[in-house]
Amino acid sequence: MAGFSELSDSELLQAEELREAEEPRSARDPDGAGKRKQAPRPLDRYALRYLCVTDLAGQSWCEQQAVFGMEEPRPPAPETAALLDAGKSIHLARELEVHDLVKIPTTSREDSWAIKILNLLSMIPVLQAVGHVRELPVFGVIEGVFVSGIIDELRYNTKGELELNELKTRSRPFMPGEAQRKKDHFQVSLYKYIFDTMVQGQLKPDVFTNHIHLRPEQPLGCQLRKHAQKIGFMITSFGDLLELMHLNLMFSDIPGIDCLKIEYSHQESSVPLGTEVVPYEEATVKEKAQYFLAYWKGQREARGVDIEEAWKCQSCSYSEICDWRKKRAEGLEKRSGPKKSK
């Protein structure tokens, strides 16, 4: 993760989301025989059924750091934790402005995903009628990998355009630098790409069953079925909900996202620091996503930052164990040659 002044609240909210990992993150050979085998893909090595948008955005900051985060998760420093707690509170307060939160007990993986899908389905009519929703889940498949995310805010602006707004709170009272903005731009662009494919009817039921191995025949929990009925959905199994999701998205008449904005705010004072309108270039977004996903699919090795961005290492909690950083530093010394004595 970036230095604590650069962390965004939505990234934390998604990072705390439970991963469905049935195997240890560091897979080992149970036979211990030392046989030469093809190295498993990182997706398999870390037992990941899906990735979050923020996983891919994190790679644009430092891919090697993102890998260390999977291999050796570390708790944030006390000052970082305090900053993130404050950020979560700001996001929660904004979410409560538009809807209440309801806690529903779950008994299976299907229940957990059903809650996310019900949240999405319940927001579709609200967006159409009121023109404003927060914390909207998005799901899709990019380059054969299931990717999940949460859009901070969607609203229709005064021009009638569907606008995505992402809130980033900062500990420092000024706008972020180019590297952080580049990461944020890619994040919101990915949200648009996935959302647009959803409302175009490309999110089909078999996406959930084939990619993250959920069971369509699994009965949903009693409390979950009651909640679904309360908001207008009569369902019994997870497969029922998947069919409803597909039909509702396909016939919702919701357009693709027209405008991407990032709102930066000083966390302590709540003073707005500035708003950026993000240009969207689909070809560039797809190219970057393809490159980042190639690592997770085992098609290339992880990369750290280039020498020009080595300043990022100063705030990285993995800098002392990073071979990439050491090798780049050694290479720089060799190119510069031995120091001359005066």
Question: Does residue 26 sit within a domain?
Answer: no
More confident residue, 100 or 185: 185
pLDDT at 7 over 50: no
pLDDT at 31 over 80: no
Q: 104-144: per-residue pLDDT in tens?
A: 888 999 999 999 999 999 999 999 999 999 999 999 999 99
DSSP state letters, 207-266: HHHHHS---TTPBPPHHHHHHHHHTT---SBHHHHHHHHHHHHHTS------EEEEEEEE
- Residue 33 included in any domain: no
Residue 247: per-residue pLDDT? 94
14 within some domain:
yes
pLDDT at 267: 86
Percent of the chain with pLDDT over 70: 77
Q: Is 168 helix (H, G, I), strand (E, B) or coil?
A: strand
335 pLDDT band (50/70/90 cuts)? Answer: low
The pLDDT of 215-222, averaged and rounded, is: 96
Phi-psi region of 64 (alpha: psi -120 to 50; beta: other; left: phi over 0): alpha
Range of the domain at 225: 4-20+47-322
- CATH number of the domain encompassing residue 247: 3.90.320
Q: Which pLDDT score, from 0 to 100, does residue 101 have?
A: 66
User: Do the beta carbons of residue 246 and residue 205 sit within 8 Å?
Assistant: yes
- Say if residue 26's pLDDT is above 80: no
Using alpha carbons, list the distances in angstroms from residue 305 to 12, 66, 178, 224: 22, 12, 14, 45
Residue with tokens 């904005």: 261
Q: Please give the pLDDT value at position 171.
A: 86
pLDDT at 9: 46
Summarize pLDDT for 280-291 with one digit per residue, the tens: 999 999 999 999
- Residue 231 falls inside a structural domain: yes
Q: Is residue 32 part of a domain?
A: no
- Residue 163 in any domain: the answer is yes
Contact 122, 252 (CB under 8 A): no
Which three-class secondary structure state does DSSP give residue 133? strand
The tens digit of pLDDT for each residue in 66-91 reads 999 998 887 665 655 556 655 555 55
Q: Please give the tally of structural domains in the chain.
A: 1
Residue 96 has pLDDT above 80, yes or no: no
Which residues 6+ apart lie within 8 Å of 129 measured at CB?
Answer: none
Q: Which residue has the higher pLDDT, 87 or 234?
A: 234
Is 217 a member of any domain?
yes
* pTM summary value: 0.83
Residue 341 in any domain: the answer is: no
Average the pLDDT over 313-321 and give the result: 88
